[in-house]
């Protein structure tokens, strides 16, 4: 199945039941067309765009440079809608996580804000679940439910701005200054919607976050990478995680379709890559799997000649995960080796682990089960494992892996 057909198979839900159209997520041209169609003058689209994306207004009544009848007419035909934050969790280290519910069908995704001294980064999701099945990733074991729409992607940024109280778009010193497409999902398997959303986010007369402050992370959807660089010009991060095809085939199964050599070529040719704009290689540290110094040596050999930095990510465990995180000393040895070879190799400090940890854990106190409960637990575990295996097999069949 081609990438386009595949996107269609995971298409988002149909439009709103009340017949009103959401103006969020439309390109400038589409906004212009839909308003003209509804009988508005040509210049209205620009005004409405400014209210929606620069001022963050959701109520047409607040659009005060429009005459009252025009505002009323807008409210009859349209809405300005974002996902609903149904949970708002704050970590001890300031990281904030919103559980976002989609108004269209109630599906839920997560968006995370990570404040740092000189910036604030929003980690945005592109799909409900994920198309792919990377073995160390919790999202990968979930069934892909669907792609997010452009409105739902840009809506996450707007929802964060609402909660950070950051409207109208400030010029500088922003709490939300950077975006990483590193939440749930594979953004290049939902490219059209991601691209549309990022173009809106980058528009200078609205949210106005520059392409230099946006990073898209992919597991390696080789055929979409050049287009992404050419059309969007955003920074690229690639989830490498293994330095030979044998291992990468197993832990990042998209490698069976686009092996390491093809991936390296695609990255080498990524538009706009230079020493000032390097690719970020993401490398999750899995104990005894990919963390030896021989792996580090091979990693350095692979990226030779590509302007690169290497982000080492301590593995974040989840219930039933078939891996452990490498020992800290080993992560540091690995980092030193890569660093001495001339590549920046920061170790990603786990942020917000208190709220992340809480989210995958059972709430109940652990109890000694009765033999009958124990038997039931074993059966439930078997069923769960079989379901996971079936979901992974089904997804890989769709992808032709």
Active site residue 359: yes
- In sequence order, the 6+-apart residues with CB closer than 8 A to the CB of 348 are 311, 312, 313, 314
Residue of 219, 255, 280, 311 interacting with ligand SF4 (CB under 6 A): 219
- 80 or 132: CB nearest ligand SF4: 132
Number of residues that bind ligand SAH (CB under 6 A): 15
Does 315 interact with ligand SAH (rule: CB under 6 A)?
A: yes
Q: Which residues of 93-108 are buried (b: 16+ CB within 10 A; e: fewer)?
A: eebbbbbbbbbbeebb
**Candidates 81, 110, 152, 186; catalytic one:** 110
Does 253 interact with ligand SF4 (rule: CB under 6 A)?
A: no
What's the distance, CA 278 to chain centroid?
20
Strand order in the sheet with 84-90: 84-90, 96-101, 108-115, 120-123, 178-181, 214-218, 235-239, 279-285, 308-314
- 169 or 219: CB nearest ligand SF4: 219
**Among 21-29, 131-139, 289-297, 354-362, the segment contacting ligand SF4 (CB under 6 A):** 131-139
From the list ligand SF4, ligand SAH, none, which binds 315 (C-beta under 5 to 8 Å, kind-based)?
A: ligand SAH
Select from 62, 73, 21, 317 the least CA-distant residue to 168: 62
**Among 42-50, 151-159, 181-189, 381-389, the segment contacting ligand SAH (CB under 6 A):** 181-189
Site for ligand SF4 in 220-249 (CB under 6 A): 239
Tokens for 21, please give them: 């159209």
Does 134 interact with ligand SF4 (rule: CB under 6 A)?
A: yes
Residue of 31, 35, 124, 137 interacting with ligand SF4 (CB under 6 A): 137
Q: How many CA atoms lie within 13 A of 334 on its CB side?
A: 27
CA dihedral 229, 33, 155, 190 (to 10 degrees): -40
Active site residue 110: yes
- 40 or 191: CB nearest ligand SAH: 191
**Among 31-39, 132-140, 317-325, 366-374, the segment contacting ligand SF4 (CB under 6 A):** 132-140
Does 137 interact with ligand SAH (rule: CB under 6 A)?
A: yes
Q: Which residues of 318-352 are buried (b: 16+ CB within 10 A; e: fewer)?
A: beebebebbeeebbebbbebbeebebebebeebbb
d(CA 45, CA 65): 13
Footprint of ligand SAH on this chain (CB under 6 A)? 134, 136-137, 182, 185-186, 217-219, 239, 282, 284, 313, 315-316
Footprint of ligand SF4 on this chain (CB under 6 A)? 130, 132-134, 137, 139-140, 185-186, 219, 239
**Catalytic residue ranges:** 110, 359
């Amino acid at each position: 199945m081609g990438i386009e057909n595949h996107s269609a198979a995971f298409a988002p839900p149909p439009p709103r039941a009340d017949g009103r159209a959401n103006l969020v997520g439309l390109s400038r041209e589409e906004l212009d067309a839909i308003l003209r169609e509804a009988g508005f003058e040509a210049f209205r689209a620009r005004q409405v765009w400014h209210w929606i994306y620069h001022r963050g207004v959701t109520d047409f009544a607040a659009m005060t440079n429009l005459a009252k009848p025009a505002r009323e007419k807008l409210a009859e035909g349209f809405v300005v809608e974002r996902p609903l934050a149904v949970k708002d969790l704050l970590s001890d280290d300031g990281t904030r996580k919103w559980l976002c519910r989609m108004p269209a069908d109630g599906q839920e995704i997560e968006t995370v804000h990570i404040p740092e001294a000189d910036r604030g980064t929003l980690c945005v999701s592109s799909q409900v679940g994920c198309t792919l099945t990377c073995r160390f990733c919790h999202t990968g074991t979930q069934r892909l439910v669907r792609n997010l729409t452009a409105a739902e992607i840009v809506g996450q940024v707007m929802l964060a701005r609402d909660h950070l109280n950051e409207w109208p778009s400030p010029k500088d010193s922003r709490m939300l200054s950077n975006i990483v497409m590193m939440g749930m999902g594979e953004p290049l398997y939902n490219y059209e919607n991601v691209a549309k959303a990022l173009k809106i986010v980058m528009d200078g007369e609205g949210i106005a976050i520059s392409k230099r402050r946006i990073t898209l992370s992919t597991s390696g959807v080789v055929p979409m990478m050049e287009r992404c660089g050419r059309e969007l010009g955003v920074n690229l991060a690639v989830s490498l995680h293994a330095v030979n095809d044998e291992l990468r085939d197993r832990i990042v199964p998209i490698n069976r379709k686009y092996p390491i050599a093809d991936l390296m070529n695609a990255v080498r040719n990524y538009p706009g890559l230079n020493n000032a704009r390097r690719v970020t290689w993401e490398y999750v540290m899995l104990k005894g799997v990919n963390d030896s110094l021989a792996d580090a040596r091979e990693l350095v050999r692979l990226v030779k000649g590509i302007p690169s930095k290497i982000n080492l990510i301590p593995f974040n465990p989840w219930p039933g995960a078939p891996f452990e995180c490498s020992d800290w000393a080993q992560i540091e040895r690995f980092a030193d080796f890569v660093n001495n070879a001339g590549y920046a190799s920061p170790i990603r400090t786990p942020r917000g682990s208190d709220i992340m940890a809480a989210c995958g854990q059972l709430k109940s106190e652990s109890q000694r089960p009765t033999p009958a409960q124990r038997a039931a637990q074993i059966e439930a575990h078997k069923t769960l494992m079989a379901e996971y295996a079936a979901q992974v097999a089904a997804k890989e069949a769709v992808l032709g892996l």
